[in-house]
Chains A and B, each alone.
Chain A
Amino acid sequence: MVLAPDSMALETRHLGFTISPHEECGVEEAVRMIEAKSGESVVLTLGPAEAAEQLRDAMALGVDRAIHLETDGSEWDPEATAAAIIDAIRADEAASGPFDLILFGNESADSGGFQVGLRVAGALGRPCVTGLKKVTIEGASVRCEQESEGGRDVYAVPMPAVLTVKEGLNLPRYPSVPGRMRAARKPVATMTPTQAQARLELASLVVPAGQGRRAEVLGSGPSAAPAVVEMLRKIGVV
């Protein structure tokens, strides 16, 4: 990983952006629910202008419309992120009616705060189940399965509810060309929320020292097999 010169962010000049794995599964699940039950799906993100591309990607998979909470790309702590999302959801629900389900990724891929979905649920006074690998709507409630030691823990909560999901929930589809064309015409509501004062404040990023592995090359091609097996014997796995 390469840091930007001020050590406050990753150097992203040579990187592409994408929807994170957990959130990609959340988008796919929302699309599947609407396909199965009818209704409307909305995708929301908080991020810089460039994040509009990921909103289009989500709409190309079948999401109906998007809300973009546009930032200048600076770091938002989990509380500030949650506060902006809470305001946006309240405003959208006041205008378009309540959401039965609000899905979040279980934790962000970068900061890993594990809390935005739970903070939003708390503020809205809705039950929240986290880390889900399977979600089934059963009437007015939702059955939720979470991986746990030796199997899965099952919850059932009434809707409206907030769920946080994990990769493995489903296998997301690839966007089709017609899907991409339709997405270009779908509405995106862009707003610029006020950033609450961060209470968890990034000071700097550090690339941890390497783990000290130095590869011993055992050979090349199939002729390396005896050396590999010798190594396996030495470390006691054969």
Chain B
Amino acid sequence: MAPVVALIEHADGKAFDTSLQTLAVARSFAAGQAVHALVLSSPIRLDLELGRNAVFALANDLGHYGVNVAHIAEHEALDSFAPDAWAAILGQLADQLDATAVFAAGTERGNEVMARVGARANLPLATNCIAVSAGDPITLTRQRWGGSLLEEARLNSTRPLVTVAPHAVPIETAEAETKVETFTPQLKEQELVVRVIEHVAAAGGGVSLAEARVVVSGGRGVGSKEGFAIIEELAGLLGGAVGCSRVVTSAGWRPHTDQVGQTGTKIAPELYIACGISGATQHMAGCKGAKRILAINSDAEAPIMLNSDYAVVGDLKEIVPAISKEIRANRGHAG
């Protein structure tokens, strides 16, 4: 019986959680068919014979997530990301296996590679799915509006291409005996035209918005660029990062890198403090991953007040400094 195949993204010898989540959806679709995985690596870092290589260990370990066969594709061109090459390799493996479906995580790279697979093979692609069932047609549930809305859809395809919405389905463990094989792809020159030629590291300093444990954000209610001083102060006291809504970046008060939202950064902190933010769908798509939300808003009826865990009603320009002062006072008492 023909298998399904999933692309596994990895770094530092570890498969991404998003790829392991993808395997759960792929296994459920496969319903007993074999699950194959594709792991890309460059030969420089590959040492199959000794079995010490991190990529080999990673591939071997995919059995814990139900993978029956892990294919390690090696090619010198894989030293840097080349999305057309990735798509070519994934397409070649799917052809060789006569795969009934191809899966990848709905990450930036996963979506991009799968769209290229679809364009090359003239196959439809359903992105950011949370459930997929085999059948004719295939039925699936996918995210829209950054996850604020779900779509039930039918997919008519001989080889469905599916990406799985990040962090929307749990990782599932299963014990399978994994066979690790080497896959040698054939790449054409034109598939290496688009490739990463340089990586520019981000300017250091400060806590990264995506990784911060606490994010303090300001919206229209902050009123001005200068108004963010009190937001920065509170974020500093909490060891957190400063965020903002789209209105703020459009007004030029803060750089786009500070924007929390569907078209900005999606965050998942322990605590999100939203000050003077109404809570439009576009914003909530970026902060709904927060474990807890504290909303500070003069409008008790603002949408964010209904989507938060804690709320304080009133003028943020008085409340935010009062909170900072209280934190300082408490620290004073403590020592």
Contacts and interface: CB of A to CB of B under 8 A. Distances in A.
Interface of B is mostly: mixed
B319 A224 contact: yes
In this complex, the member of A77, A154, A166, A224 whose beta carbon has the largest number of chain B beta carbons within 10 angstroms is A224
B200 A112 contact: no
B152 A107 contact: no
Interface residues on B, range: 35 or more
Interface string B136-149: 01010101111111
A41 interface: no
Contacts, number: 237
B125 interface: yes
Interface stretch (B61-69, B93-101, B217-225, B262-270): B262-270
Contact of B201 (A131, A150, A213): A150
Interface in B119-154: 119-120, 124-128, 137, 139, 141, 143-154
A199 B154 CA distance: 8
A200 B153 contact: yes
Nearest to A116: B115
Contact of B149 (A1, A145, A171, A225): A1
A138 interface: no
B151 A205 contact: yes
Contact of A219 (B137, B259, B271, B312): B312
Given A115-B119, A202-B153, A21 B238 contact: no
A226 interface: yes
B182 interface: no
Given A131-B112, A228-B326, A221 B199 contact: no
Interface of A: 1, 10, 21-22, 77-79, 107, 109-115, 118-119, 121-123, 127-131, 145, 148-158, 166-168, 171-172, 199-208, 210-211, 213-226, 228-229, 231-233, 235-238
Across the A-B interface, give the 4 residue pairs with the lowest CB-CB distance, nearest first: A168-B256, A122-B119, A222-B322, A115-B115
